[in-house]
Amino acid sequence: MLYAVSAALRRFLWIDRGRLGIQGTSYGGQLTDWLLTQTRIFKAAIPIAGISNLISYNYMTYYNQYEEMEFGKFIHQSNLMDELWQRSALKHVANVATPTMLMHGENDADVPIAEAEQYYIALKDVGVETIMVRYPREGHGLHETRHVSDAIDRCMAWYEKHFPSSRKE
């Protein structure tokens, strides 16, 4: 992903490096959480319903046999738990500096809201500007019109707050 961003910045000189944001939902939210620990190129971030800790996720979701299918073993076998912890954004949260607004549905059965809650607390602990938006009655994605509208408004406001003005005066 970072290679693609670098390639785009080299190819399209009109891209404003001071106004790069990152946002994703579900796996995109997990990727956003992770990329924030790997680079400081993004000026604002909005992970939505992302996994921040692959170990806690395994024990809280009904997808708890995913790792067995993916790796051919349970996470307590061999060194898989250590490997999953290494691949978890939460382990590397001290590297994050990007202002982050987390969004999550309170009734998300696919990715429990605790994934966002623990990342939010960790971001606060390391001094990152962060807020968390919880949507009542929502699952893995927003469906209520009022919530969808609210999320769009909040995302626009978050980016406007953290991107420098592009106007030349």
Per the annotation, the verdict on 104 as an active-site residue is no
Alpha helices in the chain (DSSP H): 2-11, 27-36, 54-60, 66-71, 80-86, 114-125, 145-162
Query: Phi and psi dihedrals of 130, rounded to 5?
Result: -150, 150
The one catalytic residue in 6, 56, 76, 140 is 140
- Nearest by Cα to 150 from 162, 140, 138, 161: 138
Per the annotation, the verdict on 147 as an active-site residue is no
The one catalytic residue in 6, 26, 56, 162 is 26
CB atoms within 10 A of CB 163: 15
Residues serving a catalytic function are: 26, 140
